[in-house]
A = this chain, B = another copy of it.
Amino acid sequence: MLLHLSTWPEIEAFLERSRTIVIPIGSNEQHGPTGLLGTDWLCPEIIAHEAQKTADILVGPTFNIGMAQHHLGFPGTISLRPSTFIAAIGDWVRSLAGHGFDHIYFLNGHGGNIATIEAAFSELYVEASFVGRPRGFALKLRSWWDLPGVSELAQRQFPVGHGSHATPSEIAITQWAYPDAIKHANYAPQIAPTGPIREALDFRKRFPDGRMGSDPGLATPDKGGELVALATAALIADIAAFAADPVFGL
């Protein structure tokens, strides 16, 4: 069930049977010479939208801009400051918690988001923790590649050249979902370098075409489909386990 294609009475009815919601969250940022700028928000959106086709899961709108400051040296990247990102996640959660959702699950598509999303969760919890009152909801962050079995499959598919940014696994997923948007380029070197992540100018100097440790040329739509199938099943199970975990203090 997609929230944005539902009406408010339909959500009101859903809340009668479940108080859990899934928010795909990612980033809009360069993904090397052939990766789509939307890769990191498209991947969790693709997986979550697949999941709700077969399970009674409510999927909210996609949070499509995250923390990508290090990629700003490449055109098309859009980033929030961490402080803005924290404020915005806070308002999404405040809105949803006000409706009675008490298990809010963020399916993440960007490693660079993780620290700030965790900080945003703490920023929400601390309002209650300072005053010794219950907040009454549980927040969970899960990156799609951390769903059980997914990174193992990716390592089997891409034993060499997976890397950490513009990886063949994420590009394969977008190829499967958007076959008309498959791009090609020569990669030089075939496998990109690795190194630390700092400010944008430093990043572009270290990673001239935007890739980190990866060879996106290995991606195929079929491998993307395998990843989506496995991730979708794992997501459904992961949400069920989360929904069953109590929130103490209520």
Chain A interface (Cβ < 8 Å from any Cβ of B): 3-12, 15, 28, 30-38, 41-42, 60-65, 67, 69-70, 72-84, 86-88, 90-92, 94-96, 98-100, 112, 114-116, 118-120, 122-123, 125-126, 128-135, 138-140, 178, 181, 183, 185, 196, 198-202, 205-206, 210, 245, 247-249
Given A4-B41, A36-B4, also A119-B122 (CB < 8 A): no
| Nearest 9 interchain pairs by C-beta | A4-B38, A201-B249, A129-B200, A115-B118, A11-B76, A205-B248, A69-B126, A8-B30, A125-B199
User: 8 extra interchain contacts, Cβ-Cβ under 8 A, other than A3-B38, A84-B88?
Assistant: A4-B37, A5-B36, A72-B98, A80-B88, A83-B83, A98-B131, A140-B196, A202-B248
Given A74-B8, A75-B12, A138-B198, also A92-B65 (CB < 8 A): yes
**Chain B minimum-CB-distance residue to A125:** B199
Residues on B with beta carbons closer than 8 Å to the beta carbon of A35: 7
Task: Please give the count of copies of this chain that the complex contains.
Answer: 6
The CA of A11 and the CA of B95, in the complex, are separated in Å by 35
The CA of A130 and the CA of B74, in the complex, are separated in Å by 11
Given A28-B4, A33-B7, A138-B198, also A132-B98 (CB < 8 A): yes
**Chain B minimum-CB-distance residue to A87:** B84
